[in-house]
Chain A
């Protein structure tokens, strides 16, 4: 315990995390914008990753060709999904894995819980995985008397704080080191005395806290970054070694894998494993990548399970324009360049996938529940330019806006916005006018009224203030 343990502390969960997950975006964003620490943490973090990414992308003279290939491979996967899923199942099964299929979150959670019980335990160690967050596996486990321990450092921080992740790649991006020290100090039973806020000391504390658990765990739950149809292999990309621990040490391994994660051939990894680490952490290669195919005698888990998850994905597949969202490799580059995300943080989106990808994926995965998210964007196009698989996020946003139920005013403003944006000079002028027009409300970060025709829209809801700089200038400045 640190020396000032007696001093009363502020609650450790930032207010943004306390937003109900179903708060509409504009409302949630407004709360988030009022929190300077959150915004400072976010701006620092996204700025750092952006710079690293840009430097490493510049090293490759074939970056655009890699993006073209990746986009085409993913489009091919989507078109051949039934065939590839069956091919994966056949090869994984032949290698000793058991493949399960889950129509929705509930089914996936029930299968996973049953498998954990069959492994003769009531707790699992977990590798960070978006799919298990999406299906709320931890919550389901808790409800049925099982325990899931997150082992990724950031996920551990978030779990200890009883918070929700706010970024795909850096779930604790909204905490600074002092806040993390406080979380460990208050919530980790074996936190060393006098723990400082030095990141190395904090990482060491996490190592000690988890090590015994890793070495004795009977079962683990993971996701997968890729599932190779040709071989029946799964791939997990990570940094800390907690993934390797979970994938290697327990007897039973359960992996929840969205059906869109398939790749046709093992050799396709030569494309995606160049794109993913550079786009996500801004590294030439992440420290550890694990590839496994079923089970192997004397090496790693004996009992290997794969749960192939639909949970709304086939609905996305049915939309010709929207289906490209299934190409996402969850690198989070689009979050890091998004002016809206940088100012509101991840929680405001009210979904496990925040930022630009969340704005196109959430409303498609859960139709009718996130209709406001396609409006959480300025359509500046920065997300498309960084996306390693070339998802045309602005195109899908506009498409979803046209599809979603909206008020006439929204249609008017969006129609006008589209017309204006088709002519870049007008768009810039409009943005400047909007910034000027919103001056008195600047501090709150929200505009009450837009000039016509936007006024029709802002009568019923607030609109995020355009950032002080022009999006286009902003983006030009940051892309190098």
Chain B
């Protein structure tokens, strides 16, 4: 018997007479109370994570700091590429090329206010996963219409089978005496630019 057949058989035998489990209750929250200002809340959470928050497209150069070479997904809107940096579209750049970039500029698929989570799903203006990972500084543009209060509202906005990265603040570790240290292997600096409508 193949391992597959044998494991499935063991499962069936283990469950003989077990019947069905009762349906799961779903009485938890799926949204925040309507009076909550979700943009304010998102900003509060991001600052708490030590991400930097900026407002409006005009703030992109400031968010990029002194970055000279900035990798961008091939479909990043022209009007986001502001300031004196050299914007390099990702056309299958090598790892070494990516490692030579000062920053990456992308959009996002959704942002969850309550946990300060920015979600990428390889959709428009986001590019492949490596470009938001190797450079040490990630600048992400969050449109207000992508911001939701609750995780349950964000999941339907994602392509479930696309590669996803959910980001809640810069890379961090608490492995040494539980003291949080920002910046290990992922980008050590995260700047979020919130733009209309």
Using a CB–CB distance below 8 Å, which chain A residues touch chain B? 41, 44-45, 48-49, 60-62, 65-66, 68-69, 72-73, 75-76, 78-82, 85-86, 95, 100-103, 107, 151-154, 157, 170, 172, 176-177, 180, 199-200, 202-204, 206-207, 210-211, 214-216, 228, 230-233, 239-242, 244-245, 247-249, 259, 266-267, 269-271, 273-274, 277, 281, 283-294, 296, 298-300, 308, 310, 314-315, 317-318, 320, 323
Contacts and interface: CB of A to CB of B under 8 A. Distances in A.
Interface string B11-29: 1111100111111111111
B52 interface: no
Contacts of B24: 69, 72-73, 76
Contact of B172 (A239, A277, A298, A308): A239
Given A154-B175, A244-B186, A291 B28 contact: no
Contact of B10 (A95, A240, A310): A310
Contact of A245 (B133, B151, B168): B133
Contacts of B92: 298
Contacts of B173: 153, 203, 239-240
Given A177-B177, A215-B99, A68 B25 contact: yes
Interface in B115-168: 115-117, 122, 128-130, 133-134, 151-152, 155-156, 160-168
Nearest to B133: A244
A300 B122 CA distance: 11
B186 A241 contact: yes
A294 B15 CA distance: 29
Contact of A285 (B7, B168, B186): B168
A103 B171 contact: no
Contacts of B168: 283-288
A203 B184 contact: yes
A423 B179 CA distance: 41
A296 B163 contact: yes
Contacts of B112: 285
A210 B183 CA distance: 13
- Which 4 A/B pairs are nearest by Cβ-Cβ distance? A241-B186, A72-B24, A241-B185, A318-B14
B99 A270 contact: no
A204 B23 CA distance: 48
B14 A288 contact: no
24 contacts: A48-B178, A62-B27, A69-B25, A79-B20, A80-B21, A82-B12, A85-B11, A86-B8, A103-B6, A107-B3, A153-B173, A215-B99, A232-B161, A240-B172, A245-B185, A274-B28, A277-B115, A284-B168, A288-B166, A290-B164, A291-B160, A299-B128, A315-B10, A318-B13
Given A48-B178, A285-B168, A65 B28 contact: yes
B6 A285 contact: no
Contact of A199 (B6, B152, B181): B181
Contacts of B164: 289-292
A100 B4 CA distance: 8
A280 B156 CA distance: 25
Interface residues of B, number: 72
B29 A101 contact: no
B12 A69 contact: no
A45 B177 contact: yes
Chain B residues touching A, majority SS: loop
Contacts, number: 245
A233 B161 contact: yes
Contacts of A103: 3, 6-7
Interface of B: 2-4, 6-8, 10-15, 18-30, 45, 49, 92, 95-96, 99, 112, 114-117, 122, 128-130, 133-134, 151-152, 155-156, 160-179, 181, 183-187
A interface, over-half SS: helix
A312 B33 CA distance: 45
Given A244-B165, A314-B14, A69 B27 contact: yes
Interface centre among B2, B129, B184 (most CB of A within 10 A): B184
A240 B171 contact: yes
A274 B21 CA distance: 23
A231 B160 contact: yes
B15 A317 contact: yes
Contacts of B45: 284
Nearest to A246: B185
Given A101-B4, A293-B161, A203 B177 contact: no
